[in-house]
Structure 1
Amino acid sequence: MLGHVKDSSAKRPALLARLKGRGRRGEVVFIALSALAALTLVALVLLMVYELTVTALPSLQRFGAGFIGATTWDPVNEQFGALTAIYGTLVTSFLAMVIAVPLSVGAAVFLAELAPHGVRDAASFLIELLAAVPSVIYGLWGLFVLVPLVKHPLEAFLGDYLGFLPLFQGPRFGVGMLAGGIILAIMVLPIVTATARDIIRMVPDSQKEAMLALGATRWETIWKVVLPYARSGITGAIILGLGRALGETMAVTMVIGNAPIISASLFSPAHTMASQVASEFAEATGRLYISSLIEIGLLLLGITLVVNVLARLLVWKSTGGSRTGEAV
């Protein structure tokens, strides 16, 4: 019996050594696979940029930097410029953020600080559900419901009472930059709201309790403590929503009118960078025509990449490096 115990004791270090060796090999394999997955994602992005650049090369060589500032889009004579698409993208995205930001921040404050538990859970679920709705569904809703409402009564009201402003002059089609901006605002609302809500929840309770202990009201605490503390994260959430607005395709394509026009009127049809590529690429003929559309896509990729990286950095900074701000 004693011999058996001695044999077991002698074998134990060898067994532990074998298990330790297997653990190290498993850890090495895990690290290698994780690194391979990360490098694969980076390689895919670099490959995408490379392919877009190579395909856009004829347009880059033909038009150079002048492509960005040119307004002509004439496939017949092979004269192309991106300014009309850039203009439509910037106007609709700016309009979307003007509409969405106050509503999103207000909703985020309500959900994080004021709403009862049951209301908060139900509203948060609905908001996150809206973020998952496909853009084509938004586009169909916009085409059949929003566009008629924009034409009458919204454009009619704005034209009748604010028609002295260039923004609200011109024919009232329903489709145009105003409809595009509204549909984008609806689409970015869930993203900005959910991210800003999570940022506001990161504000330490000690900060709020100290303010309340000094006799401040709930509103004063939110205005003077919560919002300033979460400012950079909320800014990141807004920029994240802007990135979504800049790159949105189907919904905008269905309500903006798709016309290469630069107009001061929000009633005017226009097109965005994404909608132009989506609506014309299938019918594009000729190497230069296709190359010009690809160059627009390359420009859009660069813009959205910069915007999203900036947004992630701001959210990460506000949350102290946690993942909470990236819930959506």
Structure 2
Amino acid sequence: MSNMSQRMKIQRLQDAFFVNSTRFFAFFVLALLSGIIISLLYGALPSIKAFGLGFISSSDWNPVTDQFGAWPSIRGTLISSAIALVVAVPISFGIAIFLTELSPVWLRRPLGICIELLAGVPSIIYGMWGLFVFAPLFADHVQPWITEVTTGVPILGPLFDGPPMGIGMFTGGLILSIMVIPFVTSVMRDVFEVVPPLLKESAYGLGGTTWEVVWNIVVPYTKTGIIGGIMLGLGRALGETMAITFVIGNSMNDMNSLFDPATTISATLANEFTEAHGELYTSSLIELGLLLFFITFVVLVLSKLLLLRLNRNEGSHS
């Protein structure tokens, strides 16, 4: 009996240690997040006092006169990420469907490994490849053709008008899409594989085509995972630094088309932080980092709300 009570005492101590240790790490993450926010706010305080909310909408960036504005960087971050998602999501969806539904068995594993290896390539390698290989080919063979095809077309014409320089907003978005594809594809493939075979076999037995099975069975069953994969890709695109710095052109000037050079928040930080002199200059760059943190936070919150709404609607329909 004493051995039993001793064993129960040890088990209670082990449970208490496990609960308290996991609680500590959970609160440590919250404390770390709070520390990052507080440090960013403290570092950005001189800029916030000097420019206020006008910092967000201002396009001025002149270190000589200590005039700084975040709008060109914010605009570039949002547009480049949007281009990356528009290009990457359909391609990732197609690759994931091919790997799970159409690919021969002998090809699935090698092709899946190749996709995953792309995610392990350092971002600076993508940037160097984009600058020295992709940008010249894009300027010589693709940009003139796009401009010619879209000339006179409403909306598209002005978007793709401009000199074919190779580097610019559109090139940056395309490089980001190549970097995003492995992440979105991996998530989509994993969630597609968890669809019960019985559901798909039943649909095929009723005469459904592959597309009908995918669209009516696979996608509704895995929509939460699909959105999660897209949000993962968006987070990757929003925070990318080195690759986008190489190919976007790093210009604070106004954009007249997607072919013009531009910049993003991360590219501005990478280019100018080492050259920042003076409290206001450094503080403005820290405020840019705070804005990037806020943008990412808003995107994650909106995605979570969307997932909760989808789950709630699914429950009401059932």
> Aligned AA for 2:146?
L
One of 220, 236, 254 as aligned partner of 2:246? 254
Q: Could you list the runs of 4 or more consecutive aligned residues of structure 1 that deviate by over 4 angstroms after TM superposition?
A: 309-319
One of 206, 215, 227 as aligned partner of 1:223? 215
Alpha-carbon shift at residue 180 of structure 1 (Å) = 0.2
Which sits farther off after the overlay, 164-173 or 302-311? 302-311
Matches within 5 A, 1:72-87: 72-87=60-75
Unmatched segments (≥5 aa) in structure 1: 1-12, 320-328
Distance 1:108 1:318, change over 3 A: farther
Distance 1:250 1:312, change over 3 A: farther
| CA distance in structure 1 between the aligned counterparts of 2:297 and 2:89, rounded to whole angstroms | 21
1:298 maps to what in 2? 290
Which sits farther off after the overlay, 97-106 or 155-164? 155-164
1:267 maps to what in 2? 259
Alpha-carbon shift at residue 228 of structure 1 (Å) = 2.9
1:206 maps to what in 2? 198
SS of 2:216's partner is helix
Which sits farther off after the overlay, 259-268 or 223-232? 223-232
1:174 maps to what in 2? 166
Percent of matched pairs sharing the same residue: 47
Alpha-carbon shift at residue 104 of structure 1 (Å) = 0.5
Count residues in correspondence. 308
2:95 maps to what in 1? 107
SS of 2:250's partner is coil
1:188 maps to what in 2? 180
Matches within 5 A, 1:118-197: 118-164=106-152, 165-197=157-189
| CA distance in structure 2 between the aligned counterparts of 1:262 and 1:112, rounded to whole angstroms | 44
1:307 maps to what in 2? 299
Contact in 2 for aligned 1:92/1:180 (Cα 8 Å): yes
Which sits farther off after the overlay, 41-50 or 227-236? 227-236
One of 274, 277, 281 as aligned partner of 1:285? 277
| CA distance in structure 2 between the aligned counterparts of 1:309 and 1:274, rounded to whole angstroms | 21
Do structure 1's residue 245 and structure 2's residue 233 form an aligned pair? no
Structure having the higher Rg: 1
Alpha-carbon shift at residue 105 of structure 1 (Å) = 0.6
| CA distance in structure 2 between the aligned counterparts of 1:263 and 1:178, rounded to whole angstroms | 11
Alpha-carbon shift at residue 201 of structure 1 (Å) = 2.0
2:316 maps to what in 1? none
> Aligned AA for 1:175?
I
SS of 1:269's partner is coil
> Aligned AA for 2:167?
V
Alpha-carbon shift at residue 315 of structure 1 (Å) = 7.0
| CA distance in structure 2 between the aligned counterparts of 1:316 and 1:205, rounded to whole angstroms | 26
SS of 2:277's partner is coil
Distance 1:310 1:109, change over 3 A: farther
Normalising by structure 2, we get a TM-score of: 0.91
Alpha-carbon displacement from aligned partner over 1:97-128 (angstroms, at most 9, x marks no partner) = 11111101111111122222231111221212
SS of 1:230's partner is helix
| CA distance in structure 2 between the aligned counterparts of 1:198 and 1:318, rounded to whole angstroms | 20
One of 42, 45, 57 as aligned partner of 2:33? 45
Alpha-carbon displacement from aligned partner over 1:126-160 (angstroms, at most 9, x marks no partner) = 21221122111111111111111221111121223
